[in-house]
Amino acid sequence: MASALPFLRPLPPPRASFVQCLLRRISTTAQITQEAPTPYPTAAPQTTIPALPYHVNRTPSNQLPIYNITKGGGGTSKLTRLRKIDGDLAVLRSDLQQALQLKDEHIAINQLTRHIVIKGWRKTDVAKFLEERQF
């Protein structure tokens, strides 16, 4: 009888990255609805990054989801793929294009998979760009 009802088994707890994603969305809506308290005049100014219209989630092993890819016969096509993007892909694409000084045809958005593909192996440059924005 127990094997006939497998749907009654309890579900595993959610992944930590999913919980962080939900908490980030809750905290941003809470910040929008609440008024910000006035800072004390003696407090040192804090360096904060403005709220961006996109977010790059990390992998379960806490790494940035940037991958160097080789395609074509004999490894002739070298690409960099950025995955796990939430928010506005076009804004992230334009920010990356300006920061890495890329031409229009060297960076593309795959709307179906929500990936950004960059021509060439640019993993270190993209990682530096994302770490500057505290992802």
Which sequence spans correspond to the domains of the chain?
54-132
CA distance 54 to 86: 6
CA distance 8 to 102: 53
Looking at residues 26-43, what average pLDDT do you find?
Answer: 58
CA distance 108 to 85: 14
Least confidently predicted of 5-9, 77-81, 105-109, 127-131: 5-9
pLDDT at 66 over 90: yes
Looking at residues 16-30, what average pLDDT do you find?
Answer: 72
Instruction: For the domain covering 54-132, report its CATH number.
Output: 3.30.780.10
pLDDT at 29 over 60: no
CA distance 93 to 19: 26
pLDDT at 44 over 80: no
Looking at residues 17-35, what average pLDDT do you find?
Answer: 67
